[in-house]
Amino acid sequence: MRDSAVLHDFDSWLAEHPTVVTDIQKVLSDELSDAGIAFDQVSVRIKDRGSYLTKIQDPRYPDYRDFDTAYDVLGVRVTVHTTSDVILLVGVMRSLFDVVSVTDKSAQTAGRGEFGYASSHVIARVTSSTLPSLAELEGRLIEIQVRTVLQHAWAEFEHDVRYKNPGHELSPEVHRAFTLAAGLIELADQQFDSIARATSTDGDATDDTELTATMLPGVLTMLVGNEYPMSKADYYRFAVDMLAANGVTTIGELSVLCAPEALAQLQETMGYGYPPGQVRLIDDLLLFTYGRDHIRRTVHIGDHASSRPGRLGNRWQKMGQRPRN
């Protein structure tokens, strides 16, 4: 196939979707934020035109034949703080996209007895049934990389060094330094996981203790368990505000809201595709308990207050527009 023909579909599609990068970045950021999932950043890029052409012509990629089979023209990267969050985010991607494959690069590297590149790569298709805001991308393949902030720093620096030295084999000293850094990063990520687990409980609190944003993650972990992951740190002040707006200001009152039967009813009603983050869980429990009053009392709360009425309205409809018994 001639180069011009190979590039025609690439150029035409991008010309028809001039805002695709910002569209995907906004939708995914909003989805993760709405779910109460902790993440560092969502970034989106379009594959370089020359790299696309080179890969199509590379016999090592026999399934990468044309624009429709080019799975990485659209690339998404989500960075998180812990390796536990990587596992969680891959699960979230399964619920948002039609996943074709998942490759754990970390496991592949470890399986070779090495330290090095670590990331989870998800190849998926956009589906309007779960992401209606991206309906115009229906069926489009997309590559999503999920990695920790430290893994991302290593990968970016390693790529930068190799990019600046094309065609030159790096010295054994440089290879050794990269390997050592990768090993230290793996150890650091393990310690961050340990810290997250160790700080997710608060054994000194009592039922009449006033709720604060600082203590809320640990208290919720005690009340609902580890099934619901911690949210972004700054979301917890929104959660405290939402709780207070509905008269829930102490641990005892929160424990009533989070009663096992309430959680079970909410899970059955919502049919979550993945465990919601703690703050999203609180928001849904309040909506499930207080109904329209919760919408009225908290519609102004949060970083995305302008879209909150619509999001709450959609959830309220899913709940059948009536609070739980």
**Range with lowest mean pLDDT among 16-25, 114-123, 283-292:** 114-123
Q: Are 170 and 162 in contact (CB under 8 A)?
A: yes
Give the least confident one: 121-125, 171-175, 212-216, 264-268. Answer: 171-175
* Model confidence pLDDT, tens digit, residues 22-50: 999 999 998 888 877 888 899 999 999 99
Q: Where are the domains of the chain?
A: 3-163, 216-318
Q: Identify whether the C-beta of residue 145 lies closer than 8 Å to the C-beta of residue 101.
A: no
* Three-point CA angle 281, 285, 258, nearest 5°: 85
155 pLDDT above the threshold of 60:
yes
What is the model's pLDDT at position 193?
Answer: 72
In the CATH scheme, what is the homologous superfamily, with its name and number, of domain 3-163? Beta Polymerase, domain 2 (3.30.460.10)
Judge contact between 31 and 132, C-beta under 8 A.
no
pLDDT of residue 58: 93
Cα torsion 169, 172, 178, 182: sign? positive
Q: How far apart are CA 22 and CA 131, in angstroms?
A: 15
Residue 135: is its pLDDT beyond 70? Answer: yes
Q: Mean pLDDT over residues 199-208, rounded?
A: 60
How far apart are alpha carbons 92 and 221 in whole angstroms?
20
| pLDDT band at residue 85 using 50, 70 and 90 as cut-offs | confident
- Give tens-digit pLDDT for 235-267: 999 999 999 999 999 999 999 999 999 999 999
pLDDT at residue 289 is higher than 80: yes
- Residue 161's pLDDT band (boundaries 50, 70, 90)? confident
Report the mean per-residue pLDDT for the chain. Answer: 87
Most confident segment among 53-57, 178-182, 224-228: 53-57
User: Is 85 exposed, middle or buried (CB count within 10 Å of its CB: 0-12, 13-18, 19+)?
Assistant: buried
Q: Hey, which of 91-95, 230-234, 265-269 has the most confident mean pLDDT?
A: 265-269
| Whether the predicted pLDDT of 16 surpasses 80 | yes
Alpha-carbon span 213 to 234, nearest angstrom? 8
CA atoms within 13 A on the CB side of 164: 6
